[in-house]
Amino acid sequence: MHWLAALLAQPWELVGRILLAAILGGIVGGEREYHGHTAGLRTNILVAVGACLFTILSVEGFPTANNLIHDPTRLAAQIVSGIGFLGAGAVFRDNDRVRGLTTAATIWLMAAIGIAAGVGSYFLAIVTTIITIIVLVVLLPISERLAMHSRKRE
């Protein structure tokens, strides 16, 4: 019952972690949705919130008993592996080009942001989201120009 008391001691702080993950997932997902990518607003929110909840449960929800070693990082490692399968579904081949790599990387990164929110690293989660938006929005025109230049050389 000690673990239950600890879990209930800070319920609003834990809810805040989930809400932060949802907001950050929504920011990135909104950008993806706006640009017409398959993993958009709802997908990114669900990935971030799911990773956050799994992390909270890993850290707060499983008590240690009889001096057993408790390693909450094991669940984070499993989240990363599981998200890899979800991201793989976003990657496809279109003629001679591979498409969806940025979408897959974004899904993977949203899981990391959700994990950061889940362990209470709010600043890290927010800064990573800002960097993600900069990469997706600011670097898009540069990336497109480089791709056009590369195609001209072929």
> Using a CB cutoff of 8 Å and minimum separation of 24, what contacts does 74-78 make?
76/115
Query: Which of 13-17, 40-44, 65-69 is predicted with the least confidence, judged by mean pLDDT?
Result: 65-69
* pLDDT tens per residue across span 87-134: 777 777 777 777 778 888 899 999 999 999 999 999 999 999 999 999
Asked if residue 113 lies in contact with residue 130, where contact means CB atoms within 8 angstroms, the answer is no
* Distance from C-alpha of 52 to C-alpha of 19, rounded to nearest angstrom: 9
Q: What is the pLDDT, as a whole number, of residue 83? A: 82
Can you tell me the distance from the alpha carbon of 147 to that of 6, in angstroms, rounded to the nearest whole number? 52
- Helix, strand or coil for residue 97? strand
Give the pTM: 0.80
* Confidence at residue 1, expressed as pLDDT on a 0 to 100 scale: 52
DSSP state of 89: T
d(CA 55, CA 75): 7
Distance CA 9, CA 6 (A): 5
Percent of the chain having pLDDT more than 90?
A: 45
Joined tokens for residue 125: 């989660």
